[in-house]
Amino acid sequence: MTRTRTHRIGVLPGDGTGPEVVREGLKVLEAVRTGFDVELEEFDLGGERYLRTGEVLPDAELGRIRAKDAVFLGAVGHTDVKPGILERELLLRLRFELDQYVNLRPIVRYPGVETLVPSHTEDDVDMVVVRENSEGLYSGAGGFHRKGTPYEVAVQESINTRHGVERIVRYAFELAMHPDRRRKLTLVHKTNVLTFAGDLYQRVVDELASEFPEVETDYVHVDAACIYFLDWPARFDVIVTDNMFGDILTDLGAMIQGGMGIAAGGNINPEGVSMFEPIGGTAPDHTGKGTINPLAAIGAVQMLLAQLGEAEAAARIDRGVRHATSKMKSMRAGEMGYATIEVGDLVVDGASG
Ligand code: IPM
Ligand code: MN
């Protein structure tokens, strides 16, 4: 008998609704898991731990996370913790330390889901945002001068390296060539104002375009991209953009999918450990009520399995989600959450259909 392959997965439920959606995601993982094993290790990291012990991400735990095949994260952020601590020292530190330079955020509208934009059909919304995830304004470069005085200066620098821009643009080109995609790559930036960073991005896109002659490339300013998300989303297939533009644009993207509770994302290091998460955050208003939408976490599990090479299990989740949403009449426009989906219905029916 051949030995079954085992994936070692670090689980970080985190704060707020993180633990409840992670629980639903793990049920789905178990339901689609045939032909391979998973070894789960849970990490107690997040606001509660910080408030209890003052620790955010001890090196020993980071070391254990590094040794995983993938990470499944719920949400990070706590109302009693000053903004910036958990975000920077836990979420961003994990992304940076593991060099997860791709933030992959598919924007799909599942069948039967209503959104705030009545003119959109299901076919209109099917794109992927490739958000640069390791530099830009998120690098933490900058500082204060004369802090607290009337002459205070606060500088926040956007770091854009040739290496960083090239690897994210290359990833986006390769994704555009994937059989499921439409071979169109749009650079979203603000080249008319950010003439240094934007210029580097545009030059790299133009240079790499010759390596990918089958991919059509174009360019849209980030503000105009917001208009197109509402007015003509079908014009986008793969978008590549910098860290902060990608952050902002994908919240709008989530809303044209049907809500923050649907949008999943992956922090990917193609050669290392990747981390998958629902992108909606901790949703304190929903915490503990059983009303948060678990679809984003389930979508994150789907992406995690795809990254681990478990294409069949990932496809079962996709079929299951589509089957379930097409039957649900309760998903209303813009809704963050609704009662927990029956896992049996979601996976078993969907997989057999
Ligand atoms: C996201 C979040 C994070 C980000 C925050 C919590 C640091 O908004 O994953 O989109 O800005 O990347
Ligand atoms: Mn965000």
Nearest CA to ligand 1 atom 6: 87
Mutate to test the pocket of ligand 1, among 107, 247, 275 (most ligand atoms within 8 A of CB): 247
DSSP 236: -
Residue 263 half-sphere exposure, CB side, CA atoms within 13 Å? 31
For residues 257 and 280, the answer to whether their CB atoms sit within 8 Å is no
Q: What are the residues whose beta carbons fall under 8 Å from the beta carbon of 66, sequence distance 6 or more?
A: 97, 98, 273
Angle at 259 (CA atoms; ends 255, 261), nearest 5 degrees: 140
Q: Is the CB of 349 under 6 A from ligand 1?
A: no
For residues 278 and 303, the answer to whether their CB atoms sit within 8 Å is no
Give per-residue pLDDT as tens, 128-168.
999 999 999 999 999 999 999 999 999 999 999 999 999 99
The pLDDT of residue 290 is above 90: no
Kindly report the number of other CB atoms within 10 A of residue 259's CB atom. Answer: 25
Q: Token pair 């929903």 is at which residue? A: 286
Three-state DSSP class for residue 150: coil
DSSP 131: E
pLDDT tier, 329 (very low <50, low <70, confident <90, very high otherwise): low
Q: What are the residues whose beta carbons fall under 8 Å from the beta carbon of 237, sequence distance 6 or more?
A: 126, 127, 128, 176, 181, 182, 183, 184, 185, 186
pLDDT tier, 1 (very low <50, low <70, confident <90, very high otherwise): low
Three-state DSSP class for residue 215: coil
**pLDDT for 292:** 86
pTM: 0.94
329 catalytic residue (yes or no)? no
pLDDT tier, 289 (very low <50, low <70, confident <90, very high otherwise): confident
Residue 284 main-chain phi, psi, to 5 deg: -55, -30
Percentage of the chain modeled with pLDDT above 90: 83
The pLDDT of residue 331 is above 80: no
Q: Is the CB of 249 under 6 A from ligand 1?
A: no
**pLDDT for 325:** 86
Q: Which of 223, 285, 289, 327 is catalytic?
A: 223
Q: Is the CB of 91 under 6 A from ligand 1?
A: yes
C-alpha 73/C-alpha 171 separation (Å) is 23
Structure tokens at 182: 């439409």
Q: Which of 99, 124, 251, 345 is catalytic?
A: 251
Q: Is the CB of 317 under 6 A from ligand 1?
A: no
Give per-residue pLDDT as tens, 230-240.
999 999 999 99
Nearest CA to ligand 1 atom 5: 87
C-alpha 64/C-alpha 84 separation (Å) is 24
Give per-residue pLDDT as tens, 25-78.
999 999 999 999 999 999 999 999 999 999 999 999 999 999 999 999 999 999
